[in-house]
């Protein structure tokens, strides 16, 4: 199974930067190939690997050079990107579509979509990364 995932990851990244794919998390979100665009990260929403972000409330975990990000489609014209790493113990957070919040499965911390802690034990906000959607090319640029 890992060999197949590695082969899939290598295939998806042909022609892209050395960012890695992340495995699907328990919510069913899948990892995505990303490309460097200057000092930023770009996600082509026309790529089937990024299909989760074509729908409102879709989310995807992607690797960045210095962080792991969760990208969430909040409306047809807006996406947000936050660190996927809980500030309490480093577990990956998950997007709760029903409550529009991020939750940590390890110790129960909750975060608003602004990154602010709404329930501990975490006491520091998640890093937030500015995003821009180019509607003409359907590419999301995440400023790192």
Helices (H), the chain: 2-12
Task: Write the pLDDT tens digit of every residue in 49-83.
Answer: 999 999 999 999 999 999 999 999 999 999 999 99
Quick: pLDDT tens for 79-127. Answer: 999 999 999 999 999 999 999 999 999 999 999 999 999 999 999 999 9
**What is the chain's mean pLDDT, rounded?**
81
- The owner of tokens 């709404």 is 118
Cα–Cα–Cα angle for 23, 26, 28, rounded to 5 degrees: 75
For the chain, what is the largest distance between any 2 Cα atoms, rounded to a whole number of angstroms?
42
Q: Where are the domains of the chain?
A: 2-142
Q: What distance in Å separates the CA atoms of residue 16 and residue 120, rounded to the nearest whole number?
A: 38
The model's pTM? 0.78
Q: Exposed (0-12), middle (13-18) or buried (19+): which is 77, by Cβ within 10 Å?
A: exposed
Instruction: Determine the topology of domain 2-142 in CATH.
Output: Rieske Iron-sulfur Protein (2.102.10)
Token digits of residue 119: 């329930």
């Amino acid at each position: 199974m890992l060999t197949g995932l590695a082969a899939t990851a290598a295939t998806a990244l042909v022609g892209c930067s050395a960012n890695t794919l992340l495995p699907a998390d328990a919510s069913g979100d899948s990892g995505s190939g990303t490309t460097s665009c200057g000092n930023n990260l770009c996600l082509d929403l026309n790529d089937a690997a990024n299909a989760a972000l074509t729908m409102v409330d879709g989310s995807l975990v992607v690797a960045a050079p210095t962080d792991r990000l969760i990208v969430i489609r909040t409306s047809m014209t807006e996406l947000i990107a936050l660190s996927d790493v809980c500030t309490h113990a480093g577990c990956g957070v998950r997007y709760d579509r029903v409550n529009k919040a991020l939750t940590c499965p390890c110790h129960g911390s909750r975060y608003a979509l602004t990154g602010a802690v709404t329930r501990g034990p975490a006491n520091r906000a998640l890093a937030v990364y500015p995003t821009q959607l180019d509607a003409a090319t359907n590419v999301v640029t995440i400023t790192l």
